[in-house]
Amino acid sequence: MKIDLADKVALVTGASRGIGKAIVKSLADAGATVAVHYNRNVAYAEAVASSLGNQAAVFQADLAQIKACEELFQEVIKAYGRLDILINNAGIAQLVSSSDSTSKWIRVWEQTMAVNARATALLCRLAIRQFQEQGGGHIINIASRAAFRGDTAEYMSYAASKGAVVSLTRSIARAYGKDGIKAFVVAPGFVRTDMAQDAVNSYGETFILGDLALGQLTEPEDIAPMVTLLASGLADHATGTSIDINAGSYVH
């Protein structure tokens, strides 16, 4: 099996760190030109882009802002003239308890839904229009195990936002398949990144390993190859599917 993305342009959100950083490396290794999106960590993003080659460049946007999402997409099209692959990877997980004030609870819900669900939907909408003009394209949305099994009381907004990502992606696959648009969910379990560090600090790695069938925590590099395969066109008849990458947490 050979994956060749040499004539493809990909936008990966949240590519400055963590899972996004591993995804852009995998896509670039397969030959893709990658737009490396970030929010705050410009130095990280620039280091990632310069390590990739293939005309990779950085693009800033706070995805909590509607206008910033639209401008991000326009900037990428301006830079490369086309888009073939959209990976909605950027995400946040904020803790809030039902005993917190209503204003804090609402703030966390709105911010989480804005970044994880609304920005993903907005970028999908823009990509669908672009893909319709170009004759097709691939969307991979990074959800979470939490979308399917729920999360703790403090992370209900996170789980709900990822549930929205799953149903959005399935709807795109159903509605736009005949336009050549393929859409997939990748649903990681616990992955060793900054986002997961709080849990490692609080509970310890041994406790987290107890939830898994495998003996090691999932690394970002364990997620990236599947994303590249789905983006390659070799798995198109799996459109609409969700791929669990969670070290066997459901079968354990």
Size of the site for ligand NAP (CB under 6 A): 30
Q: Which is nearer to ligand NAP, 191 or 229 (CB)?
A: 191
Query: Is there binding between residue 191 and ligand NAP (CB under 6 A)?
Result: yes
- Angstrom distance (rounded) from CA 84 to CA 98: 42
Shortest distance, position 218 Cβ to ligand NAP, whole Å: 8
Active site annotation includes 38? no
- Angstrom distance (rounded) from CA 64 to CA 40: 12
Shortest distance, position 146 Cβ to ligand NAP, whole Å: 7
Residue 215 C-beta-side C-alpha neighbours within 13 Å:
0
Separation of CA 126 from chain center: 16
Query: Is there binding between residue 39 and ligand NAP (CB under 6 A)?
Result: yes
- Footprint of ligand NAP on residues 199-218 (CB under 6 A)? none
Query: Is there binding between residue 90 and ligand NAP (CB under 6 A)?
Result: yes
- Angstrom distance (rounded) from CA 35 to CA 131: 17
CB 252 within 8 A of CB 196: no
- Angstrom distance (rounded) from CA 63 to CA 200: 27
Query: Is there binding between residue 115 and ligand NAP (CB under 6 A)?
Result: yes
Query: Taking the chain, what is the end-to-end CA distance rounded to the nearest angstrom?
Result: 31
Query: Is there binding between residue 194 and ligand NAP (CB under 6 A)?
Result: yes
Query: Is there binding between residue 149 and ligand NAP (CB under 6 A)?
Result: no
Q: Which is nearer to ligand NAP, 7 or 216 (CB)?
A: 216
CB 45 within 8 A of CB 36: yes
Among 38, 44, 80, 158, which one carries the catalytic annotation? 158
CB 24 within 8 A of CB 56: yes
Query: Is there binding between residue 35 and ligand NAP (CB under 6 A)?
Result: no
Active site residues: 158
Residues near ligand NAP, by CB under 6 A:
14, 16-20, 38-41, 44, 61-64, 89-93, 115, 142, 144, 188, 190-191, 193-196
